[in-house]
Amino acid sequence: MTRPTAPLRGEARRPARLAPAWVVGIALAAVALAAVLSLTIGVRDVPLAAVWDALTAPNTENIEQAAVLARIPTTVTGLVVGAALGVGGALMQGMARNPLADPGLLGVNAGASLFVVLGMSLLGLEAPLAIVWCALIGAAVAVLVGYGAASASPAGATPVTLALAGAAVAAIAASVISAILITDESTLENFRFWQIGSLTAGNLGTIAQLAGFLGVGAVVALVCASGLNGLALGDDVARGLGIRVGVVRGLAALAAVLLCGTATAIAGPIGFVGLAVPHAVRLIAGSDYRLVVPLSAFVGAAFLLVCDVIGRLIARPGLLEVGIVTAVVGAPIFIVLLQRRTAVGL
């Protein structure tokens, strides 16, 4: 009987991963806990009993229940935006085979921001729904231009050309935005609040109107998840396995722009969710995108809501916008995740 070989000196142990059922259960519990925290914590903390009463038999004359009802739109916005950004980040990283890819890879955030600025400056748009549509159209245009430029290169839409094309689109958009804001103070005043990233800007009516984009994006993301497993092996190997590389990348890009563009339109550009969440998911659940994609939705939703609650606690009785908190909280977490992944050779 052979004895198990001991690990070589200096060789890191690969952390044991939980079974998929356990991972999904923990993720769902985290989402539920984050939602409860979002409903109970704020300028006025409310007990769980008041939350239950507000959800089952709402009474707007009760101060505690009124506080809970006022937080429902913010909570729903956090769940939707966090889930969309988490899935979008996972798709971007799988599509480009780039662990540092995020929703800004193909200029999603930059394109959305540019069209918001153009709408405010040229058309005088200020209504939240109008701003939402400007951001969504801008995100779609940026991805089409970036993906088209990468596909037109001699090498085709490879991870390198996608990253370069996205960087070019983002740089051009940033230059135009700066030129407009320097000469238009009123647009600068309106744009700076949207650019920070906030869950308070969203409302249930806006989310309902954009739910179709989110639904289509989610379905497409699940459909192309298995194809992303093939792309992880390299384009040549994927083609040898019968995977249509261009189609998978196109579907992943479509899903990412629908999810991330809509999320950016609702809440503004929020960083680190799409970058860090997929890394955390792969660390605990493995690299199978059929599991990574849905789990990124759960973890992204929970992470964004927790960051929003942290912002409420830090700035009481005011509010620190969630876009600032995700950057402060997400950056150290992402560094730790990268160190652990490097230590185990992921």
Percent of residues, the chain, with pLDDT higher than 90: 21
**Residue 303's pLDDT is what?**
94
pLDDT, the chain, mean: 82
**Residue 344's pLDDT is what?**
39
Q: What is the pTM of this model?
A: 0.84
- Residue 61: Cβ-neighbour burial (10 angstroms; 0-12, 13-18, 19+): exposed
What are 19's two structure tokens? Answer: 């079974």
Q: How confident is the model at residue 58 (pLDDT cuts 50, 70, 90)?
A: confident
**Residue 157's pLDDT is what?**
67
Section 291-298 average pLDDT: 94
| CB-CB contact of 207 with 76 (8 Å) | yes
For residue 139, count other CB atoms closer than 10 A to its CB. 32
Q: How confident is the model at residue 295 (pLDDT cuts 50, 70, 90)?
A: very high
Taking CA atoms, 300 is separated from 164, 166, 278, 339, in Å, by: 27, 23, 8, 20
| CB-CB contact of 177 with 121 (8 Å) | no
Q: How confident is the model at residue 22 (pLDDT cuts 50, 70, 90)?
A: confident
**Residue 286's pLDDT is what?**
83
Query: Does residue 128 carry a pLDDT above 80?
Result: no
Residue 28: closest CA among 308, 301, 258, 335: 301
**Residue 298's pLDDT is what?**
96
Please write the tens of the pLDDT for every residue from 313-324: 887 877 888 888
| CB-CB contact of 166 with 146 (8 Å) | yes
Q: Cα–Cα distance between 54 and 63 in angstroms, integer?
A: 10
Between 262 and 184, the higher pLDDT residue: 262
